[in-house]
Amino acid sequence: MGALIEKLGRLSGNVISAAPGIALLLSAFAYGDTWHEPHSSTGMINGTAPSAESVSIPVALNESLLNMAEVNAVSYAARPDDFSADTRINSLTVNNAYDAEGDLFSIPPELHWEGQEPTIALTWANADTPETPLDPQPVSDKSFCEQGMAGSRLVVWPALEQSSEPLALLLFTLTGEPNFGPVALFGPRVRIDVAAAAAAPIAIESDAFDEALKAVKAKVGERITLTITTLGCDGSPSPNTAFVITRSDAVDRQGEVSSSPGVYIDSTPLTGTTSKYQGVTDANGRATVTVKQDNGYGVKTTLTVRPKASASEALQAKIDVIFTVITSPDTPKAHFWGHMPETITASGGLTFERPRLTAELPSPGEAGSVYLSGENWAELTFPQAEKGVNGCASGALPFMKELKALYDEYPSGKLKKTFGLPDRAYWTGDAKRQGSTVSRQIIQLSTGVKNTVSLSNSNSTQWMFMCLREGSHPQPAVMEVTSPSWDANRSAIYAKKDEDVSITVTVRSADGRPVEGAPFAMQRRETITRSGIASKPANLLVTPVAPSGQSAGLYSSPWYGVTNANGQAEISISFTGTSGYAGLKDLMAFTMQDADGVEQTTNLIFASPNSPDSDKATYWGYMPDTVEINGKTLRRPPIVAEAQLPPAWTYDGINGDEFWAYSYYEREDKLNAVAQCGSIDNLPDIDDLTALKSIVKTLHWPDGDYLTKSTNDKGEYCTYNNYMNCGSSTQASGRGLVACVEK
């Protein structure tokens, strides 16, 4: 210390005695632009000491100074200990030296360390985060490439704050007293760009790499071969290099951690993230390993390979391995990675599309969902599956015979084993007659068991579905209702009460093809008498002929039918007579259940034997108008609406179907025999009426009192029912039904 002070005195032309207070200590500097002031300063003598804003300490690479203002490119083979803080006096830079009295500085200003030239360590950081030192700092005696730092963008600066000894640097002037003073030290950050290595230090390759997934992919149970290559920084092989393989958590296709069984590397199980496989590359720096996962769920596992001697992430290589399962489709919306085929082609040539996941539907909120084999599969009601926005295209819902044929080709669970199809019941597109009802159909494709769902329940019950890709079924567009009993004059299907009516319903597509398995409803729209009065309907009995089935009653509820392979349904309808009258006209509506707006209507009449076939009758009937008796032709009595004059009395007959007009013998203001028959002589005699009485019920004529031209021994005219009833011969003396004898 004393020697330095004496030197200072000689330089200024003055002798300066040693002063114990001159101990110039500089505190540690902070990072970047922070200034470091000395802990103490010299005492003032006659003036002020010289000073400067700072003195910059440069960084050198192998004693060659680096440019503090520009980016310095260095080799990947460089090591951190090739760099140093250059504290040589001639390397330091004084920034803005000044003296209050204007004393002169040498050029460049003279500097001296107090004591020996110090050794200052360096601090490293990424250029993107220059204020945050690397942690840990690079190893000093290994190249950047060996540490995985090839291609890095760094900053480095003198670590003034880490100096183990006080740092004191003095600045001198040529004139003035005092002629020296301490200055602050500054360690500027220097940009370093490390050259990229000729090759990655470790690489993994596989022929099974899937570019779309950026992963190696194979099916569960298959083997994946990985080739591991270790290389030097110059790209040459690094032989006999020990390496380690570890694994990440397995994740499903949605990124959720899965509990799927782990993978095997050769014979080593990697059951968890702490498991490891250890190997060594050969003389060419290469090694091959086999990866398998025999019982996986369809997950992705990331394998990490690194040199055994280093844990640096920069020296690691990663590869994703995916083992797919047959029970999941290959879609981003699946829970697991899968290889379920998109279509199944049966031996008969039909191609079926795989079932759909709920998430794949256009409107998943309108669908049900069932969780099977790790996936959520869509379930729909029949109308949704058959033609809804989430369902099949028109006509693409397969028929029972088609799905049953598919099952027969792959029975007893083989559809799941071969194609991954979920074990569940599936809708078919055709309806089925079962006894007296028509139902939708489902089939369990794991067992082949068929079942039915009522037409009403099929609107709310949900099952899975598959669609046909090609060969869709014709859809109902046209309906025809025909019958051999059609009566054009009556504009109705017409039959007598005791006869059966045969009706054929034919359903075709818009292009004329027959529609098989199409359900339809038959229901009365209205029931009226012949006089146009609404009436309570009568019970009818409907018998399906083809397709055949059990008979069922038709009253107020619909009756359901279904077409056969020819697109037709043949039915037979009969009048049961258990309720209501015959002789009514029913407006029958035939409505397709799977096609809105496709329907036909027709009139149906079961004529009554108790009514005449007269437009004046209350009911449609087939009562005979005449009968041959004793060689004579007798005409039935008139009903009230047919009477030319007001009837003498109204009689509703034994069956109560019609109202019959009674007549007098001779009475001008009322209906009378003369007006009807032209003469009393044209009335039947007692023998005629006796014969009529024996068949009147067969004829269904009214069985009341009939007028006869016969008289008693008193000459009185008589009426006849079961016996003669004779009275006065005046025109008002008797009344009864009149059956005129036609000439």
Amino acid 719: pLDDT: 78
Region 686-695: mean pLDDT is 92
Judged against a pLDDT cut of 50, whether residue 5 lies above it is answered with no
Judged against a pLDDT cut of 60, whether residue 101 lies above it is answered with yes
Judged against a pLDDT cut of 50, whether residue 707 lies above it is answered with yes
Q: What is the mean pLDDT of the chain?
A: 89
> What span, in angstroms and rounded, lies between the C-alpha atoms of 49 and 41?
9
Query: What length does the chain have?
Result: 743
CB 174 within 8 A of CB 103: yes
pLDDT digits (tens, 9 = 90+) for 193-228: 999 988 888 999 999 999 999 999 999 999 999 999
- What is the number of other CB atoms lying within 10 angstroms of the CB of residue 264? 18
Q: What is residue 627's DSSP assignment? A: E
Q: Which of 25-29, 444-448, 588-592 has the lowest mean pLDDT?
A: 25-29
Judged against a pLDDT cut of 80, whether residue 8 lies above it is answered with no
Flag whether the pTM goes above 0.85.
no
> What span, in angstroms and rounded, lies between the C-alpha atoms of 321 and 264?
12
Apex CA 153: angle with CA 152 and CA 155, to 5°? 125
Q: Which residues contact 488 (CB under 8 A, 6 or more apart)?
A: none
Question: For residue 279, which amino acid is it?
Answer: G
194: Cα within 13 Å, side-chain hemisphere = 28
pLDDT digits (tens, 9 = 90+) for 330-369: 999 999 999 999 999 999 889 999 999 999 999 999 999 9
Q: What is the DSSP string of 718-734?
A: EEESSSEEE--SSTTS-
Question: Going along 116-260, which residue ranges are E strands?
Answer: 122-126, 153-158, 169-172, 180-182, 185-186, 190-194, 202-205, 209-210, 215-219, 223-230, 242-247
Q: Which of 212-226, 596-610, 666-680 has the lowest mean pLDDT?
A: 666-680
Q: Phi and psi at residue 527, in whole multiples of 5°?
A: -135, 125
430: Cα within 13 Å, side-chain hemisphere = 22
> Confidence band (pLDDT; 50, 70, 90) for 160?
confident
Apex CA 716: angle with CA 713 and CA 722, to 5°? 90
> What span, in angstroms and rounded, lies between the C-alpha atoms of 717 and 706?
11
> What span, in angstroms and rounded, lies between the C-alpha atoms of 366 and 40?
82
Q: What is residue 360's DSSP assignment? A: G
pLDDT digits (tens, 9 = 90+) for 711-731: 777 767 777 886 676 654 444
Region 574-596: mean pLDDT is 88
Amino acid 704: pLDDT: 86
Apex CA 509: angle with CA 505 and CA 513, to 5°? 85
Judged against a pLDDT cut of 70, whether residue 45 lies above it is answered with no
- What is the number of other CB atoms lying within 10 angstroms of the CB of residue 3? 8
Structure tokens at 480: 């025809």
13-17 long-range contacts (CB < 8 A, ≥24 apart) are 14/177, 16/45, 16/178
pLDDT digits (tens, 9 = 90+) for 463-482: 999 999 987 899 999 999 99
